[in-house]
Structure 1
Amino acid sequence: MLTYCLVMSGTPGPNNVMLAMLGANQGYRSSLPFIFGINMGLFLQTVLCGLGLGSLLLAHPRLHAVLRLVGVAYLLWLAWQMARTRTGTQARAGRQPGFWQAAAFQAVNPKSWIKALTLGAVFMPAGMPPLAGALLIGLVGWAIGFPCNSVWVMFGAGIRGFLADPRRQRAFNALMGLTLAVLAVSMLRT
């Protein structure tokens, strides 16, 4: 379970692409609410999947397919917004996504659903009361996810100096938007 959480939390996906961009555009400290929101949303998603929501989605493939399509459509819209993000002082002065946006985003993030469904279906501890088991796998996901998310933000913050040139920052934002779009389209195949 630890290895699975590390791979899912540390590899590129919609959350991590957005975290790298947030780090580059606004730094680590300003990105903390978004990191906490991602982890809270994933925690709740994992607990609910451990308590049976995952079984409901697996039993109703059409519901799962609709959720996937809505998630991919939202990711494509978000990719477009990321690619168009303003640079420099204008970007920092604009409305930045925070805790609640990040937590709610997990409901349409296909990679988050894959992680939560797998944790709930494969890693629920045998012989443990369902709520306790669901809370345990949710907490393990949080404990692994938070540092992984922080690394992505620190990567973005680390390249801020390089992105001081507005042309580079626009190119970076466009690249992050394109990366998110590619990830979204690839999720249609899973």
Structure 2
Amino acid sequence: MASVMTLDFLIIALIVVATPGTGMIYTVAAGLTRGAKASLVAAFGCTLGIVPHMIAAITGLAALLHTSALLFDAVKYAGVAYLLWMAWATWQDRGSLSLTGKGPHRGTALQVTTEAIIINLLNPKLSIFFFAFLPQFVAADAPDALAQMLAMSGVFMAMTLGVFALYGLFAAYVRDHVLSRPRVLMWLRRSFAAAFVALGAKLAVAER
């Protein structure tokens, strides 16, 4: 039974990680705008952004987030505001998506990492996901329940890093083809901006 549950966990976790979302879009954008190294940095940052949610779920803080409408809404709307800012900055960018200039996905590795962390950090649904997801695969009376949840969280984070890195590296691989086509650049810029708006709207209407 344990092996079946482990397989179920791996399959569900992979589906969740591979499903396009805010972190994936940011990582792909980083790969297209700044190249392979930036995409890996973004994937790493998005993975780090999972840690607070994981800790919250394991320590029970996610239950408070789930039951407190004020706290949930505060985190949620902070995330919405940040996504809208990302959309505005991306839409306003009129550069050639080079390594210099203003706008999201530009700047040092630390800046890219910070943006990636914030994107995942300001998503309260991640805490709720961990809170509802992990207990399904760990018996409440298991003596090593904490160790099991930490191990599964580690696997989930490893999957996130690996899948996001693949997305980002593929984006970096086609980067040169994109940069040589102004119309494609404009379409991508607007698409990323629209995607951030759509994800912000989705987060805004999310319920506890």
TM category, shorter: 0.7 to 0.9
Contact 1:68 1:108 in 2 (8 A): yes
Let me know the Cα RMSD of the aligned residues: 2.4
Question: For residue 112 of structure 1, what is the aligned residue in structure 2?
Answer: 126
**Stretches of structure 2 lacking an aligned partner (at least 5 in a row):** 1-8, 102-106
Question: For residue 64 of structure 1, what is the aligned residue in structure 2?
Answer: 72
Give the letter for the 2:176 counterpart. G
Pair 1:173–1:123, CA change in 2 (3 A): farther
**Stretches of structure 1 lacking an aligned partner (at least 5 in a row):** none
- 2:204 is paired with a residue whose SS is coil
> Equivalents in 2 of 1:121, 1:86: separation in Å?
47
Identify the structure with bigger relative contact order (alpha carbons < 8 Å, sequence gap 6+).
Answer: 1
Question: For residue 180 of structure 1, what is the aligned residue in structure 2?
Answer: 196
Deviation string 1:103-129 (CA, Å, 9 cap, x unpaired) is 233221355344433334544554144
Give the letter for the 2:173 counterpart. G
How far does residue 98 in structure 1 lie from its aligned partner after superposition?
Answer: 2.4
Contact 2:87 2:197 in 1 (8 A): yes
Contact 2:48 2:117 in 1 (8 A): yes
How far does residue 166 in structure 1 lie from its aligned partner after superposition?
Answer: 3.2
The structure with more radius of gyration: 2
Q: TM-score, normalised by structure 2?
A: 0.78
Pair 1:186–1:129, CA change in 2 (3 A): same
> Equivalents in 2 of 1:79, 1:114: separation in Å?
25
> Equivalents in 2 of 1:167, 1:85: separation in Å?
14
**After the TM superposition, which of the residue ranges 58-67 and 10-19 deviates more from structure 2?**
58-67
Question: For residue 92 of structure 1, what is the aligned residue in structure 2?
Answer: 99
Give the letter for the 1:167 counterpart. R
- 1:35-74 equivalences in 2 (<5 Å): 35-74=43-82
How far does residue 52 in structure 1 lie from its aligned partner after superposition?
Answer: 0.8
Pair 1:28–1:63, CA change in 2 (3 A): same
Give the letter for the 1:146 counterpart. L
